[in-house]
Chain A
Amino acid sequence: MEWVNAVVQGTLLGGLYALFAAGLSLIFGVMRLVNIAHGDLIVLAAYLGLSATTLLGLHPLAALLVVVPAMAIMGYVLQRAILNQTLGKDILPPLLVTFGLSVIIQNTLLEAYSADPQKMNAGALETASFSAGGLSLGVLPVMTFVIAVGVIAGLQWTFYRTALGRAFRATSDNQEIAQLMGLNRRHIFGLAMALALAVTAIAGIMLGIRTSFDPSIGGGRLIFGFEAVIIGGLGNLWGTLVGGVILGVAQTIGAKIDPGWQLLAGHLVFLIILAVRPNGLFPRIGE
């Protein structure tokens, strides 16, 4: 039963990792941009959530109503003002610029909030649990997982059922020809980054309710996000959810064997999958 519990808890943890990964996956899918600052943007969203709860007295979940649009606007401006200038045939400039952005965000957070770990206070939600089939499940992890599934389903629907998604896919396929269709790729990329950072905002808030955070933890969240994306297969959103779950389960099972093995077990599973299936478990066909 303990092992079943580890798998279930790991699956729920995987929901959080899928939230970390979804924005990363979306940005890479639309504009082939690898965003090194993604983890720091998650942490930034957590801090914005913290400020919203302390300054406005909001519940962390209500803070989503402020932080999600704020991050979306920031994403659009960031893309139009900076990241669009780095996109081209050479893949190095976006890597360098987002790396620099990562450093800037970390240091700005240090200045603004200090290096002390912080946590959002979600009251009773943090400890609420219910039992199902002999297992005790936390309401918050279950809620995070459900949100993750909802976010992925929403992104999937946007991508394949809306004009915006059609524009994303067309621009990703061929930027010049998309331009001929009257689509301004700079604007489309701005919208993609806005959507990605809206998802990142959700990830940051759920992270900030679940655990304490400080300005330096962005790198670790980036790695988890990357691993989930790669395990699931690039460009496949449902694969990203599965990747997050595999990573989460590997970590909780590792921790069950020995608490020191939690992170290592996750990385090992990632390495094994990378060695056996370099394109991930569910790569999009034809890529």
Chain B
Amino acid sequence: MSVMRRRALGFTGVALASALVLSGCAASETDSGSASCDVVTEVTWLNTIKIEIQEQFVAAVDEYNATNTDCVKISIIEYPQGEPFFSVATPLYEAGNAPVVMTVLQELPDMADRVMDWTGTDLAALAADGTLDKANINGKQVGIPVTAEAFGLLYNKAVLDEAGVDPTAIKTRDDLEAAFQAVEATGRSAVHFSGLWWSLGAHFTNVYHATAAAEQADRLAILDGLKAGSKDLMADPVFTNWLDTFDLLKEYSIDSASIADTDYDQGVENLGTGEVGFWFMGNWAEPNLLQTDPAGSFGVMPVPISNDASAYGNDGISVGVPFYIIIDEEQSTPEERAGAMAFISWLLTTPEGQARWSGPIENDGMNFIPVYDGFTVEPTTYMSQDIAKYIAAGKSLAWINSYYPTGLQDVYGAAAQKYYDGVSNRATFAKELAAAWAE
């Protein structure tokens, strides 16, 4: 749930306040425009994919409900953002009210037995190469991808231009340090390094796991090694190299380490206003940054984890699928499943739906990078284009964090926060990361 939580924490206040108001689940009420239908099938959709595009998703649902001829009405089941998926899903299942459509990532294995197999569907056939793998569990296509997201070092182009820094020329950790110093020479701080548990626990640890080996099988073998207790992190030069980069970001960070939850908004403000040149975060922050500075250009670049420019992963950004769409098969009717498919097909294959899915935020679009063939709409923002370049050049790193078992990123996050705060040293940090796999 990393992705769902990432923005949510910035909104803790809102989420908790709405928890008080909602006290349960409310279905969004919209009239179905298809009056010619004898029976309108109501299809429930848990949540709104993610909070950043909540309004845009609701607008898409409203448009579909008002215009569709499939005799389908989509109802959103809202729940306070930031709550664990299971705390909402299990009571609904228990009550016999399971949502028809859900979006999950790390919970895929837990849900595999009770959801529909997408194998052979048109939508699964349209999905881009590699985007289905994570959701293929023992030959069953449990879910289909929502979008691709990327994380790495975000930068404020205006600041880097002023400092004379070309982000594409940064190939090693030393280059990065030189860039930091060049930004500092303009009277700014170099970088904002958030101490948020999910940023450190899921995304920053992924920078190590994704660069630990050049082949996916070897990278997953490291996870198995950690689980079996046979992997010694401190003996892995990639790991110590990664820690060097960790230290570098800490050293040049704008504030003395602060693990306050309010940090996300602070990061948006610091990079958005050009207070700093860099921020370790992902492209989900771009809409927030553009709100701070509508005229700004914000890009993303790799986090160099080595001084050897040719080291694997030094020149790539982490690109992955933050959510998979799953459809319940245990408590839903065939009509409901068909209705869900109709809506998803509308979103992903029709011009109207695609405009909602990948159109710009200001036009009520969700700005998703499409991962399906046949998209005529593409996000046009600066960062989206940056990401597209990395993907086209094959410079994308895996999201090993989507292979973390449910909850592991919390433990990783706590361990990383301790290191970040200077409470633990390298050896303790490595030990705590390994211990996270023990249970």
**B and A form one assembly:** no
Q: Which residues of B contact A (CB under 8 A)?
A: none
Q: Which residues of A contact B (CB under 8 A)?
A: none
